[in-house]
């Protein structure tokens, strides 16, 4: 069964590669922040290398004159995912621009939660130039009309094809004479289209002059049913008001979208399984430590083993939260620290004597940032519980999370316990907890750490976040 699964995955990967490498469309995948995460091979037509696109904001490549329109279109799409089509100019590496027809698709996980955006773009520069030529002159109309690879239909006010180009003949396997005189309904796949809705859209174009775009299922002469994307504009044909419909076969695009959705679902499933197994393995390690602790009577050794066990549990909690989350790459730090601090206080039986509060922002951190944060807070909480509040002393622990910039976070930790010894020096401390604290803050997180002691302990840690792009480049 494993061999068959491997073969299936291999076949899917091969199919995915063939599709992306043979599509003329430009395929772009972004996260919800608009950062480019994947581009298909066709993007070489823009003159960029892949590494010049990955990690960049998609809007940075939009023509300045189109930017406001694109931002409005994105806002409308977030409210209504059906409004997912736009035409815009995109910058090439040489400074020139290509006109693109862009179709956006919301990518969701198995739970239906949005995880990113798939943009299927097509170079329509030729069509734009052709439309301009058609407006300027009718003399060269027929020659231009039949050189386009897109299927083009001229539709009169009665809804009948009065002219089609070579692209339409190739799309349906019918000659021009066979197509002229038919209606869109007669070349549609039976039962696959809402013909009343299509007619309403075309009527609106006739009345307002505003172009519209929709998907339509056609049926070729050989009976094959296929999807196509149609754009309808109002125009004139030798002085006669008509509708001009351009269409392209999107069979490959649909297959690509289906394959991509399936691959993303498989990836999410594998990640969840990985997090689940990691959490289980850490629980096994924790259980082994607990069994070893029972065998020893030395209080120093038992305390050291208990500290190690608590550190493992703080890391295990990250994987447990990611496994249960719809976002498999980031974790809500505030929610994580709430659960972690509750567990530590319970472990040291301090729930009834020490209160805990967490305030401020709720940043979502990558796993490589969340685990060091959890270990740091675990060390601070452990130190407060073991040394800050001897019986019968009561007290409070406060945590403040503050985003000082979009990519910088400050965590402030304080308690009103006994504080640190008067001769405490972080740089020369031999305590494993303090050495670990300093190493995690300064080396693993690349941040700054300060510790003060007066009325209790005050700790401040500031470090950069969202460093995925930099770590990948490194």
Contact 91, 118 (CB under 8 A): no
What domains can be seen in the chain, in order of their start residue? 2-123 (3.30.450.20), 142-249 (3.30.450.20), 354-474 (3.30.565.10)
- Across the chain, mean pLDDT equals 83
Q: What is the pLDDT of residue 23?
A: 59
**Separation of alpha carbons 361 and 398, rounded Å:** 14
- Structural tokens at position 159: 């809804």
Q: What is the pLDDT of residue 134?
A: 66
Q: What is the pLDDT of residue 232?
A: 95
Residue 470: pLDDT band (50, 70, 90) is very low
Contact 221, 172 (CB under 8 A): yes
In the chain the first and final C-alpha atoms are separated, in Å, by: 38
Residue 26: which residues within 8 A CB-CB, separation 6 or more?
39, 40, 42, 43, 45, 46, 100, 119, 120, 121, 122, 123
Neighbour count for residue 143 (Cβ, 10 Å): 8
- Provide the total of helices (H) and of strands (E) in the chain, helices listed first: 13, 17
Q: CA distances (Å), 370 to each of 108, 116, 400, 435, 441, in order? A: 24, 22, 16, 19, 12
Contact 31, 56 (CB under 8 A): no
Q: What is the pLDDT of residue 181?
A: 95
Q: Residue 468: pLDDT above 50?
A: no
Q: Residue 369: pLDDT above 70?
A: yes
**Percent above pLDDT 70 for the chain:** 84
Q: What DSSP letter does each residue of 40-104 carry, written as one string?
A: -GGGGGGT--GGGTTTSBGGGGB-HHHHHHHHHHHHHHHH-TT--EEEEEEE-TTS-EEEEEEEE
Q: Residue 473: pLDDT above 70?
A: no
Q: What is the pLDDT of residue 74?
A: 85
Lowest mean pLDDT among 108-112, 116-120, 435-439: 108-112
**Separation of alpha carbons 121 and 25, rounded Å:** 6
Lowest mean pLDDT among 77-81, 232-236, 260-264: 260-264
Answer left, alpha or beta for residue 328, where phi above 0 means left and psi between -120 and 50 means alpha. Answer: alpha
pTM of the model: 0.43
pLDDT digits (tens, 9 = 90+) for 129-170: 877 776 666 555 665 566 677 899 999 999 999 999 989 999
Q: Residue 326: pLDDT above 80?
A: no
- Structural tokens at position 251: 């069979």
Contact 202, 183 (CB under 8 A): no
Lowest mean pLDDT among 61-65, 132-136, 148-152, 369-373: 132-136
- Structural tokens at position 26: 């430009």
Contact 345, 381 (CB under 8 A): yes
Q: What is the pLDDT of residue 21?
A: 59
pLDDT digits (tens, 9 = 90+) for 193-231: 999 999 999 999 999 999 999 999 999 999 999 999 999
User: Which stretch of DSSP H or E encloses residue 267?
Assistant: helix 251-295
């Amino acid at each position: 069964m494993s061999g068959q699964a491997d073969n299936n995955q291999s076949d899917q990967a091969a199919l995915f590669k063939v599709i992306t490498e043979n599509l003329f469309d430009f395929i772009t995948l972004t996260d919800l922040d608009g950062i480019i995460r994947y581009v298909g091979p066709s993007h070489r037509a823009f003159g960029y290398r892949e590494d010049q696109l990955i990690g960049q904001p998609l809007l940075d490549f939009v023509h300045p004159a189109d930017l406001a329109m694109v931002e409005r279109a994105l806002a409308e799409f977030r409210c209504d995912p059906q409004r997912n089509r736009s035409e815009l100019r995109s910058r090439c590496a040489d400074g020139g621009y290509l006109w693109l027809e862009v179709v956006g698709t919301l990518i969701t996980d198995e739970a239906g939660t949005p995880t990113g955006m798939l943009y299927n773009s097509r170079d329509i520069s030729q069509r734009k130039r052709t439309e301009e030529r058609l407006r300027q002159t009718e003399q060269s109309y027929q020659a231009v009309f039949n050189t386009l690879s897109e299927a083009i239909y001229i539709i009169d006010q009665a809804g009948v094809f009065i002219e089609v180009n070579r692209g339409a003949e190739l799309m349906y396997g019918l000659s021009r004479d066979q197509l002229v005189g038919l209606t869109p309904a007669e070349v549609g796949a039976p039962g696959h289209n809402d013909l009343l809705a299509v007619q309403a859209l075309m009527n609106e174009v006739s009345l307002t002059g505003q172009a519209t775009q929709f998907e339509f299922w056609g049926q070729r002469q050989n009976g094959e049913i296929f999807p196509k994307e149609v754009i309808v504009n109002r125009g004139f044909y030798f002085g006669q008001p008509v509708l001009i419909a351009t269409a392209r076969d999107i069979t490959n695009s649909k297959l690509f979208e289906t394959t991509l959705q399936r691959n993303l679902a498989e990836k999410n499933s594998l990640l969840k399984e990985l997090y689940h197994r990691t959490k289980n393995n850490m629980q096994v390690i924790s259980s082994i430590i607990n069994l070893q602790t029972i065998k020893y009577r030395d209080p120093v050794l038992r305390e050291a083993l208990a500290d190690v066990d608590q550190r493992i549990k703080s890391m295990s909690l990250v994987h447990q939260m990611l496994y249960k989350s719809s976002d498999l790459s980031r974790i809500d730090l505030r929610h994580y620290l709430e659960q972690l601090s509750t567990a530590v206080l319970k472990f040291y039986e301090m729930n009834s004597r020490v209160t805990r509060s967490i305030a401020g922002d709720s940043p979502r951190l990558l796993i490589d940032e969340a685990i060091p944060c959890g270990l740091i807070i675990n060390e601070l909480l452990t130190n407060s519980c073991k040394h800050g509040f001897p019986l019968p002393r009561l007290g409070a622990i406060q945590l403040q999370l503050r985003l000082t910039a979009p990519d910088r976070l400050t965590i402030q930790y304080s308690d009103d316990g006994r504080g640190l010894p008067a001769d405490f020096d972080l740089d020369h401390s031999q305590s494993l907890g303090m050495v670990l604290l300093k190493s995690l803050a300064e080396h693993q997180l690349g941040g700054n750490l300060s510790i003060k002691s007066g009325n209790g302990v005050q700790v401040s840690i500031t470090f950069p976040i969202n460093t995925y792009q930099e770590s990948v480049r490194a």
